[in-house]
Amino acid sequence: MKNSIQITKESNIGWIGTGVMGASMFGHIIDAGYRGCVFTRTKAKARKLIDAGVEWLENPKQVAAKSDVVITIVGFPSDVEEVYFGDQGVLNGVKEETLLIDMTTNSPSLAIRIYEAAKDKGAYSLDAPVSGGDVGARNATLSIMVGGDEEVFESARPLLELMGDKVNYQGQAGAGQHTKMSNQIVVASSMIGVCESLLYGMKAGLDPERMLASISKGAAACWTLDNLAPRILKRNFEPGFFVDHFIKDMGIVLDEAKRMNLVLPGLSLVHQLYISVKAKGLGKKGTQALMLALEELSAIH
């Protein structure tokens, strides 16, 4: 089995998962002139893609059987497990020389399992989680972190670059997921810092928008300040990335850290705070909903 695959405009691209980010991501591929088919558990979420000429299929197995490249972005590792290894899963329909790309934030160990199972079928696999939320998905400015065989990555790079402007190879299977875990540690710390900064500014009587205009251009500058702090000020807690999914990601990091005998007390604290957000019934809100829990603790707003 060679370690590369040719992807052309004649290649059929199969897509599984059209949630907050997936529909926009696949839309960029279709807009670039590729042919495609799609499966998602809620067909209505794929309506724009179907209206654009994308074929709807009944399950992941059918998508795999009809595709040269299969890309998945679903919710939880259990969803990935079902999509790939279930009775109607991708690996029961995949053909030789097919490329499988899982863009879900997933456990590194499951990414390695998919890689090995694909190899047994004469297929290829990359783990390619993303960062950038709904804004990055819509604007094709995602950061994409890729693990797998480097030659396969280079073959897939032009396709990935339709969805992100920062596409980087990280190493062998599972390395993309480990990189995403590193990303989520920073995101967690940034989120609590942004929320506490806003709380402090409000308590001190500052105009929060003026305060943001200053600190977002200095040493505190970060994506969260630019993209989520304004949503908080507008009391917009709708998801660019779900609280439920962020709790899942932090749980994966903490499990991996335990396996490596690594202590991450800061992340453990943020994880517990987000569990309290979920306990308030806010699991389907955006990660900026952390502000609501911290406001309650501080009796603000």
- Shared domain for 27 and 121, answered yes or no, is yes
Catalytic residue among 61, 121, 180, 278: 180
- For 32-71, the pLDDT digits (tens) are 999 999 999 889 889 999 999 999 999 999 999 999 999 9
**DSSP string over 147-199:** ES-HHHHHHHHHHHTTTEEEEEEEESTTHHHHHHHHHHHHHHHHHHHHHHHHH
Active site residue 180: yes
- Shared domain for 16 and 145, answered yes or no, is yes
- For 60-104, the pLDDT digits (tens) are 999 999 999 999 999 999 999 999 999 999 999 999 999 999 999
**pTM across the whole model:** 0.93
- Shared domain for 153 and 222, answered yes or no, is no
Which pLDDT belongs to residue 227?
94
- Shared domain for 78 and 39, answered yes or no, is yes
Which CATH number belongs to the domain containing residue 26 in this structure? Answer: 3.40.50.720
Which CATH number belongs to the domain containing residue 237 in this structure? Answer: 1.10.1040.10
**Residues of the domain holding 82:** 12-173
CA distance 244 to 283: 5
Q: How confident is the model at residue 301 (pLDDT cuts 50, 70, 90)?
A: low
Which pair of tokens denotes residue 164? Answer: 């992100």
Out of 138, 173, 208, a domain closes at 173
**Residue 3 within a domain:** no
Helix (H, G, I), strand (E, B) or coil at 240: coil
Helix (H, G, I), strand (E, B) or coil at 124: strand
Question: Between vectors from CA 93 to CA 89 and to CA 96, what angle results, nearest 5°?
Answer: 130
CA distance 193 to 199: 10
Q: How confident is the model at residue 5 (pLDDT cuts 50, 70, 90)?
A: confident
